[in-house]
Structure 1
Amino acid sequence: MVVDDSVVVRGLLSRWIDENAEMAVVASHRNGRAAVEDVERANPDVVVLDVEMPEMDGLTALPLLLKKKRDLVVIMASTLTRRNAEVSLKALSLGAQDYVPKPESNSGITTSTDFRRDLLEKIRQLGGRRRRMHRGAPAGAGHAAQPAAAPTSRFARPGGAAPAAAHAAAAAPAVARSGGFATRPYSSVKPRILVVGSSTGGPQALTKLFGVIGRAIGDIPVLVTQHMPPTFTAILAEHLMKAAGRPAAEGKDGESVIAGRIYVAPGGKHMLLAKGDHGNIIRLNDGPAVNFCKPAVDPMFESVSRAYGSAVLSVVLTGMGSDGAKGAGVISSGGGSVIAQDEASSVVWGMPGATANSGVCSDVLPLDDIGPKIMRVLQGGR
């Protein structure tokens, strides 16, 4: 179901979706009220929901849609204004699965290949996950390896994630198993930095995680890369500051890395770590996208490993694709520790799945267990 007050946008999005054999548009509406009234009849897997609409906006419609269909996948579509970014992040806390930044003009939407690619991939992945759950398959199945076939649905068929990290083979031999995955021992060195990478489902997971570990990170800096556009990352930093009770902001080029602070990669820039005259500093990189992402997790992980070696504790949370798996392999090869979120608690088990399957993790854990584990490791436990 496509819900947008612009007839041009509704038509364009519907055409893009219908051009995919595994997807079909079952309804389109110009406002939230019409969508709420029709959702039970149309029975969609996914709703693409605009933020600003007459009669009933997206944020008002969201809980009403979920009340009628509790397992409905809702993807918010909003332009890159601060207000809409705040609304989109609020929507995630109310049950939306994800968001997609929408170009401000109709002509921008028509010509934006990035918007089209991101929208269709999120529909495919999230709608496919819902279909698999209805068939009784594990929540993350099909994201670490492409299934042979899947039936046509009202929006989605699962897609495969990229191969696991090439650096896995260079790391130390696996010695144990966690959740059925080969694992490596935690570093014997107490962590001096925590780095976290995430994508789809990440804002919710990050907020929950930092609500748990906030009191434990006073003695180390924390770097976060979440796949997000500009404006959104600044607001995410504000949310993490509230959740953790620690200073948090977008990283600034050249600033010193200080213990007890959370640095969020700004949208549209890769955030790296480098050695400065008086300690480690943030470096922002405007180079090409990595793994189709900017910011990307791999460059951050690799730079942190160069600076801190075996004193790195890294976490790969829910997200599409395989970003973070290669960087996690570099961290593991350098003696650092890697934790990946398990498939059952992930919105999309792409990034953590690729990392877990590469065999470089010290643990593969449910989201609720990652915070307590981080706290134990920071205190010298395992």
Structure 2
Amino acid sequence: MSSAFAMISPPTEPRLTRVMIVDDSAVIRGLVSRWLLEHADLTVVATAPNGRAALDMLDAADPDIVVLDLDMPELDGLTALPLMLRRKPGLSVLVASALTRRNAEISLRCLSLGATDYIPKPENNRGITTSLNFRRELVLKIDALAMARRRRERYAATQAALSAHAVPAAADISARPAGAADEAVLPRTAVMPRCLLIGASTGGPRAISTVLGELGPSVLEHLPVLIVQHMPPIFTAVFAEHLRMQTGRPAREPEDGERIVPGVVYIAPGGRHLGVMRFNGHPAVRLDDGPPINFCRPAVDLLFREAAAVYGPAALAVMLTGMGSDGLQGARALADAGATIIAQDEATSTVWGMPGAVARAGLATAVLPLPRISEAVRALVRGGSR
């Protein structure tokens, strides 16, 4: 076997989530391997210095999750990604790249091609070695993806066993994703929504694009949309441009104090909180450089909480896929104000952390699969039921 890449453990341990690390830096491959091997539920099954080597060993390594660098010789991450997904459907790919505008564009392109999530890397090996934030975020993301995969596999195994033995009473309720049986009918509301709030994290860019892309001009022309997507600086500006091109509506990072108007999509800038205030009698943007909330800046909690105070029951919130519980306390404030909250269901979420927290707390007016969320929003804007 070439010394350029290595099989670290044979594919014989089904209990562990299997991770492959693809990066042209041997230092990074070694560091990330050590970080992940400290976790009992994870095993690093292979490392590779480029996409070509990763493809060559993909079948033998049989990973569940791949950490994929973008800038590599022979075959870069963008080129290797669709080949990996074609070879192994269902593979979770975490794209890693330095924080530049070019890499932000490529990372978002990777998400549209099927990558599960992204993580910005420090610019050099020294930065990666000393960055506790990078290590923490990387491990948290892989952990969240691993937990989601294990839950889906448990549910699939339960369903297969039920089908084979036809014993409904044996169903493992704790393993069942929230789906059609958990959907609530959205009630008619006497208050017409005056804003659409969206919170998301892992898997969010694709989910947000799906919701906004299916809403159509009848909604987007008449409501302002305020979005907190957990993203670093530069990425949020690029994401706003993607949404502008997709929807045909103005989409941008707002300025502090600017009036919030219908027909505009406002994206929280990476590294700054997005809030809402009243200014001269009108809702306006409030940008906040305060400390992270739930380890997040921007934080969904802050947007939801302040929107509840400004819009009250006229706020309409959508909680999409994401790890953690950011947005839970803000959703509580929205519910107390009489606002409507839609949570994405587990079956269509990349990670059912944020929407799951809202749903389990009983704060969601409805728990819906992603393809039905835009339909529900349109019905609420028309003043009808779903």
Task: Find the counterpart in structure 1 of residue 190 from structure 2.
Answer: 188
Alignment of 1:159-238 (within 5 A): 179-180=181-182, 185=187, 187-215=189-217, 216-238=219-241
Change in 2 beyond 3 A, CA 1:234/1:186: farther
Aligned pair partner of 2:47 in 3, 6, 28: 28
Aligned pair partner of 1:66 in 85, 104, 111: 85
- Residues 298 and 326 in structure 1, CA contact (< 8 A), matched pair in contact too: yes
Greater RCO (CA < 8 Å, at least 6 residues apart): 1
Deviation of the 1:235 alpha carbon: 1.0
- Residues 189 and 383 in structure 2, CA contact (< 8 A), matched pair in contact too: no
- Residues 186 and 337 in structure 1, CA contact (< 8 A), matched pair in contact too: no
SS of match in other structure, 2:155:
coil
Alignment of 1:1-382 (within 5 A): 1-137=20-156, 179-180=181-182, 185=187, 187-215=189-217, 216-277=219-280, 279-382=282-385
Q: 2:144 & 2:343 partners in 1: Cα distance? A: 19
Deviation of the 1:361 alpha carbon: 1.4
Q: 2:40 & 2:135 partners in 1: Cα distance? A: 16
- Residues 329 and 360 in structure 1, CA contact (< 8 A), matched pair in contact too: yes
Change in 2 beyond 3 A, CA 1:97/1:62: same
SS of match in other structure, 1:206:
helix
Q: 2:187 & 2:341 partners in 1: Cα distance? A: 10
Q: 2:157 & 2:338 partners in 1: Cα distance? A: 32
Which has the larger helix fraction? 2
Q: 1:181 & 1:373 partners in 2: Cα distance? A: 11
Q: 2:270 & 2:73 partners in 1: Cα distance? A: 30
Q: Which protein has the larger Cα radius of gyration, Structure 1 or Structure 2? A: 2
SS of match in other structure, 1:136:
helix
Deviation of the 1:185 alpha carbon: 4.6
Gap regions ≥5 residues in structure 2: 1-19, 159-178
- Residues 9 and 106 in structure 1, CA contact (< 8 A), matched pair in contact too: yes
Q: 1:274 & 1:303 partners in 2: Cα distance? A: 7
Deviation of the 1:326 alpha carbon: 1.2
Q: 1:49 & 1:87 partners in 2: Cα distance? A: 12
SS of match in other structure, 2:42:
coil
Change in 2 beyond 3 A, CA 1:132/1:334: closer
Q: 1:311 & 1:50 partners in 2: Cα distance? A: 43
Amino acid at match of 1:296: A
Deviation of the 1:129 alpha carbon: 2.3
Task: Find the counterpart in structure 2 of residue 149 from structure 1.
Answer: none
- Residues 31 and 129 in structure 2, CA contact (< 8 A), matched pair in contact too: yes
Amino acid at match of 1:230: P
Q: 1:178 & 1:37 partners in 2: Cα distance? A: 40
SS of match in other structure, 1:26:
strand
Amino acid at match of 2:115: A
SS of match in other structure, 1:122:
helix
Q: 2:157 & 2:195 partners in 1: Cα distance? A: 33
Task: Indicate the percent of aligned positions where both proteins have the same amino acid.
Answer: 52
Amino acid at match of 1:307: V
Deviation of the 1:182 alpha carbon: 7.5
Task: Find the counterpart in structure 2 of residue 162 from structure 1.
Answer: none
Q: 2:231 & 2:35 partners in 1: Cα distance? A: 23
Question: What does the per-residue CA deviation read over 1:266-324, in whole Å, with 9 as the maximum and x for residues that have no partner?
Answer: 00000001111251211110111111111010100011111111111110000001111
Q: 2:115 & 2:33 partners in 1: Cα distance? A: 20
Question: What does the per-residue CA deviation read over 1:68-111, in whole Å, with 9 as the maximum and x for residues that have no partner?
Answer: 11111110001110010111111011111001111111111111
TM-score by length of 2: 0.86
Deviation of the 1:213 alpha carbon: 1.0
Q: 1:187 & 1:225 partners in 2: Cα distance? A: 25
- Residues 254 and 268 in structure 2, CA contact (< 8 A), matched pair in contact too: yes
- Residues 78 and 100 in structure 1, CA contact (< 8 A), matched pair in contact too: yes
Deviation of the 1:186 alpha carbon: 5.6
